[in-house]
Amino acid sequence: MKILYPLIFLLVTFFFIGPIVLSFVASMTPSSEFYDYSKIFPSKLTLDHINKLLFTLGGLRALFVSVQVALVAIGVSFLFGIPAGYAIARYIFPGRDTVKLVMLFTRSIPLIVVSVALVTTYIRLNLADTVLGVALAHAAMILPFIVIITSSIFSSVFVEYEEAGMVFGLSRFGAFLRITLPLALPGLAASAIYAFIMSWNEVFAASVLSIQNRTLPAHILSTAMASPDYFKYAMATVMAVPALLFIFIIRKYLVSIWGISLN
């Protein structure tokens, strides 16, 4: 069994990471070598395709839209979600379990179900085809997740610390701000990053709710089919690199993010 581990390790690594690395290489293969079957890997790597995608084909603009959407969505969902998460963690009140279940249930509703109907509402509210419109929809996708995860984070911060702060004259809000929030910060940061990835990757609502101000995945969805292969791979690289970086940063929290939200 001991000898088998390295072998399994390699196999698993190749299966899960291999395709990502290969598509990175493909995105940096010079176009002249793209249809040359004589070699598997290119003789040199180039950033031409990625540069063109970003600077000539509107990729950078879409990337900025994506970042704006994600930041606004995180802001809105944290603004609404943190108080709710705190209430679920710290108060016992009739209907508490129901609220939790409602959040779990809402989390499972995909934006696909509401996107088309939202367009009609957005036209009335002057939100159609705006960055804010997409961001608000993403916030609705992220919010139940934030409520569930922050309630778990807050309940893992001992209530005694907060009570002690209140004994020493802090108000409840002051105790939250000075004691619980700083202790919960790493977990909250990890959830914010996870929320960023959720918004960064969401494509359906972004495509339906915007035409001019498309996010990166929406931009890719509408242009990938008609693009040469090397641009397709460049798109994959531009989408994958930031998300992989973020997942790497929060790798220690992943088990607890998904483990906790099981509850």
Partner 1 sequence: MGDLSPTLFMNKQTIYYLTVLKGMMTLTRKTHLTPWLLIAPSIIYLTIFIAIPILGTVKLAFESPEGIFGNFKLLLSSKDFQNALLNTLMLAAIVIPIQLTLSILLAMLVNRKFSGYRTLIFIITAPLALSDITAGLISYSIFAPNGYLNRFLIAMNMIERPIYFFGYMFKSREFLIVVLTEIWRATPLVFIMILAGLQSINKEYIEAAEVFGFNAWQRTWKITLPLLRPAILSALLIRTLFAFQLFGVVWILAGRDIQVLAGETYYWYVFRNNRNVASAYALIIAVLTFVVGWLYVKTIRSKHLEEGA
The one segment of 48-56, 57-65, 177-185, 220-228 that binds partner 1 by CB under 8 A: 220-228
154 burial via Cβ count (<10 Å: 0-12, 13-18, 19+): buried
Which lies closer to partner 1 via its Cβ, residue 160 or residue 169? 160
Beta-carbon contacts of residue 80 (< 8 Å; ≥ 6 apart): 139, 143
What is the DSSP track for 20-36? Answer: HHHHHHHHTS-GGGTT-
- Beta carbons of 69 and 131 less than 8 angstroms apart: yes
E runs forming strands in 82-194: none
Is 91 a binder of partner 1 (CB under 8 A)? Answer: yes
Count of Cβ atoms closer than 10 Å to residue 148 Cβ = 25
Beta-carbon contacts of residue 236 (< 8 Å; ≥ 6 apart): 23, 27
Site for partner 1 in 135-174 (CB under 8 A): 136-137, 139-140, 143-144, 147, 151-153, 155-156, 158-160, 163
Site for partner 1 in 55-74 (CB under 8 A): none
Site for partner 1 in 106-125 (CB under 8 A): 106, 108-110, 112-121
By CB under 8 A, name the one of 68, 90, 128, 183 that touches partner 1: 90
By CB under 8 A, name the one of 48, 51, 71, 80 that touches partner 1: 80
The one segment of 44-52, 53-61, 90-98, 178-186 that binds partner 1 by CB under 8 A: 90-98
Task: Give the number of C-alpha atoms closer than 13 A to the C-alpha of residue 40, restricted to the C-beta side.
Answer: 1
Residue 97 C-beta: closest distance to partner 1, Å: 7
Residue 24 C-beta: closest distance to partner 1, Å: 9
Kindly state the DSSP code that residue 93 receives in the 8-state scheme.
-
The one segment of 38-46, 49-57, 67-75, 178-186 that binds partner 1 by CB under 8 A: 38-46
Count of Cβ atoms closer than 10 Å to residue 19 Cβ = 11
Residue 260 C-beta: closest distance to partner 1, Å: 5
